[in-house]
Amino acid sequence: MSFPDVMIDLETLSTEKNAVIIAIGAVVFDPYGNDSFDKIEKDRMFYARLEFDSQINMHRDISESTIRWWLSQSPEAQAEFAPGKTLAFPETAIVSLNNFIKQHRCGYAWGNGATFDNVILQSLYQDYGIKWPVPYWGDMDLRTIKRFSEVDSLEWPDGVKHNALDDAKQQVILAQHYVRNLGVK
């Protein structure tokens, strides 16, 4: 079975286009499928925690309000910052993400907001002079499809909210639900 789309979720230290990225989560999926949170195969998942220093040296943004927001999140969400976990250099992480996207032949990249995940990630790609692997017409937005679905929202029953990989998995389930609800073929 081929999965032509990839859902991307970022955790960041700002909401600006050039935000420092804490973590990248990605899940390859079929928008017409019916995945469940704990049944997504490991080979369809990508996760990287990024080190900050090189991003700060490239003048990527950190906002005080976002730091305050992170401090109000659950201890499980704050674990994205936990010392002792392996951190990837941003360039290494995005090269690995490129390979992941190309390996699965993804032509569409979804984010949760037309001006957030994909835009921030593309800005990081530009900073490192690496080509974004998705065609310009392949950026998709979960919030837009949600707007046209008759279902306002679904429960977020599984995983850690604001963990990049768990959020990407949950967003796959939401996207599939909205596509089914809209009757899109």
More confident: 178 or 63: 63
Q: Is residue 158 predicted with pLDDT exceeding 90?
A: no
pTM above 0.75, yes or no: yes
How much is the average pLDDT of 62-89? Answer: 90
* Residue 23 to residue 162: CA distance in whole angstroms: 10
What is the distance, to the nearest Å, from the Cα of residue 183 to the centroid of all Cα atoms in its chain?
25
Domain chopping of the chain, boundaries: 5-182
CATH fold of the domain at 5-182? Nucleotidyltransferase; domain 5 (3.30.420)
Using the CB atoms, write b or e for 90-105: b if 16+ within 10 Å.
bbebbeebbebbeebe
pLDDT in tens, 28-60: 999 999 888 888 999 999 999 999 999 999 999
Q: Is residue 152 predicted with pLDDT exceeding 70?
A: no
Tokens of 90: 């941003």
- Average pLDDT of the chain? 91
Residues 6+ positions from 150 with CB-CB distance below 8 Å: 181
Tokens of 155: 């429960």
